[in-house]
């Protein structure tokens, strides 16, 4: 079928509607009627990402993607635990040095420039004397 809209002509082929079983008959308010149920929906559902006033919507249900839990190897987990433990000990040492400086009367900013903090090392005697008990981990 040839159609023209605002000066633009185009060919339009309407979709053929296929109905189900034509022998279905019923009564509505005393009148015999035939039921004509289409086999597939007449209106094509949009496949585009539609936006109305900034809200995205679609006529088809959207399945939520389930995030798979990230698995880490035992070596990576042990490394993370060791690094976190080292950070905790280092913070504890820095807070002790800051409190000691305040008690002695020195500038508390001096503790942040202590050599352990700069090099990222923890003195071995500090870890043995002040670290948490290893028996608590069993």
pTM of the model: 0.38
Query: Could you tell me if residue 84 is inside a domain?
Result: yes
Check whether residue 133 and residue 80 sit in a common domain: yes
b/e code 104-137 from CB counts within 10 Å (16+ = b): eeeeeeebeeeeebeeeebeeeeeeeeeeeeeee
Torsion angles phi and psi, residue 11, rounded to 5: -90, 130
Q: Which neighbouring-strand residues pair with 9? A: 4
Instruction: State how far Cα 54 lies from the chain centre.
Output: 21
Query: Strand (E) positions, 19-103?
Result: 25-28, 31-34, 50-52, 55-57
Question: Where residue 66 falls among pLDDT bands split at 50, 70, 90?
Answer: confident
Per-residue pLDDT at 3 exceeds 60: yes
pLDDT tens per residue across span 95-121: 887 888 888 887 767 666 665 544 556
Average pLDDT over residues 43-48: 65
Tell me, yes or no, whether 79 and 51 share the same domain.
Answer: no
Q: Domain range spanning residue 30? A: 2-55
Coil, strand or helix: which one is 75?
A: helix
Instruction: Give the distance, in angstroms, between the CA of residue 89 and the centroid of all CA atoms in the same chain.
Output: 33
Establish if 65 belongs to a structural domain.
Answer: no
Can you tell me whether residue 66 is helix, strand or coil? Answer: coil
DSSP 3-state of 19? strand
- Structurally, how many domains does the chain consist of? 2
The residue ranking higher by pLDDT, 83 or 64, is 83
pLDDT of residue 75: 92
Please list the alpha-helical segments (H only) found in the chain: 74-104, 115-119, 124-130
């Amino acid at each position: 079928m040839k159609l023209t809209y605002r000066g633009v002509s185009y060919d339009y082929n309407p979709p053929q509607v296929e109905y189900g079983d034509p022998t279905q008959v019923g009564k509505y308010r005393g009148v015999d009627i035939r039921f004509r149920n289409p086999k597939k929906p007449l209106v094509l559902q949009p496949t585009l990402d539609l936006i109305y006033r900034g809200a995205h919507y679609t006529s088809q249900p959207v399945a939520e993607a389930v995030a798979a839990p990230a698995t880490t190897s035992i070596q990576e987990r042990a490394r993370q635990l060791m690094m976190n433990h080292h950070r905790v000990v280092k913070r504890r040492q820095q807070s002790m040095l800051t409190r000691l400086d305040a008690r002695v009367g020195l500038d508390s900013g001096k503790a942040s420039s202590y050599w352990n903090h700069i090099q990222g090392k923890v003195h071995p005697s500090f870890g043995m004397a002040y670290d948490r008990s290893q028996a608590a981990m069993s």
